[in-house]
Amino acid sequence: MLVTFTTKTYADITMFGDVALAMLKMMGHGATVPGAILAVDVPLALSRLTVAIDAERTLPPAVAKNAYDSSVSMTHRAMPLIDLLTAAAREQSNVMWK
């Protein structure tokens, strides 16, 4: 499964389903696809995601390993989504995923 995040102010971001669902959980949302974040809630979702990614970054390598491909860290996988959320927050735009 692939999940595509969209907003009017940034290019679409497509991720593998398991990674996208993990990031949705980090943002404080359930694993429901499709879904959306209203513009007023985007800054909170962005904050939650960045805090979760920063926390994972500080874990020792043995603990930080997860069920995902260890050759690409969650930090790197989150970067495009963080950029999308930042653009959406700046322009007060909704974010949707399907």
Report how far residue 83's alpha carbon sits from residue 79's, in angstroms, rounded to the nearest whole number.
6
Cα-Cα-Cα-Cα dihedral sign, residues 59, 65, 70, 73: negative
Query: What average pLDDT does the segment 21-46 reach?
Result: 94
Report how far residue 6's alpha carbon sits from residue 88's, in angstroms, rounded to the nearest whole number.
9
Query: What average pLDDT does the segment 18-37 reach?
Result: 93
pLDDT digits (tens, 9 = 90+) for 42-56: 999 999 999 999 988
What local confidence, expressed as pLDDT, does residue 69 receive? 46
Task: Provide the token pair at 33.
Answer: 């696809």
pLDDT at 64 over 90: no
Question: What interhelical angle do 42-57 and 74-91 show, nearest 10?
Answer: 160
Contacts of 20 (CB under 8 A, 6+ apart): 2, 3, 5, 33, 97
Report how far residue 82's alpha carbon sits from residue 88's, in angstroms, rounded to the nearest whole number.
10
Q: Where are the domains of the chain?
A: 2-97
pLDDT at 70 over 80: no
Residues of the chain above pLDDT 70, percent: 88
pTM of the model: 0.84
